[in-house]
Amino acid sequence: MCMTTQPTHMTMTQQAQMSPYLLVLTRQRDELLARIAQQRGGQLSRAEVAYTHFDHLQEDPGQMNNERDTEFAINENETAQLQQIDDALLRLQQGVYGFCLECGTTVSEARLLAMPQTTRCLNCQTAFETAHAAH
Ligand SMILES: [Zn+2]
């Protein structure tokens, strides 16, 4: 797309401060951290619930393992999300935020506001998901 409209005279700090995405990303990051903290804090009570629930299934320890795997999977997923948000904040600081990593086009504002940690434009994201769904 047209790259010449990018304000090149501004410093990176000015761009980051002016960006509405900084606010969205920071808010999402806070929410995510709160959710992770909540999950970790709630681990004991969840384990107790699982223990009570599977008390009569002690001959099948696989049930307990499944429960634990789910717990780790949730944390992994949210840690990955946190990583994506941190990456986006870094790109914002570097003044390279909002460009598709695949094709270099400018990602639409609506898409960035809805999903500020995205690294692909809608076309590339669709192609990426289609390719992954095929496997
Ligand atoms: Zn793209």
12-27 residue pLDDT tens: 555 555 688 999 999 9
Which residues have CB under 8 Å from 106's CB, separation 6+? Answer: 1, 3, 98, 99, 100, 121
CA distance 11 to 33: 30
Structure tokens at 118: 């995205």
- 58: amino acid identity, one letter: Q
Ligand 1: distance of its center to the CA of 45 in Å? 44
Ligand 1: distance of its center to the CA of 119 in Å? 9
pLDDT tens, position by position, 61-120: 555 556 666 666 667 888 899 999 999 999 999 989 999 999 999 999 999 999 999 999
Contact 84, 117 (CB under 8 A): yes
CA distance 117 to 88: 5
Contact 125, 118 (CB under 8 A): yes
Task: Give ion ligand 1 contacts, CB < 5 A.
Answer: 100, 102-103, 121, 124
The SS3 of residue 134 is coil
Ligand 1: distance of its center to the CA of 128 in Å? 10
pTM of the predicted protein model: 0.61
Q: Angle formed by the axes of helices 43-53 and 62-94, to 10°? A: 160
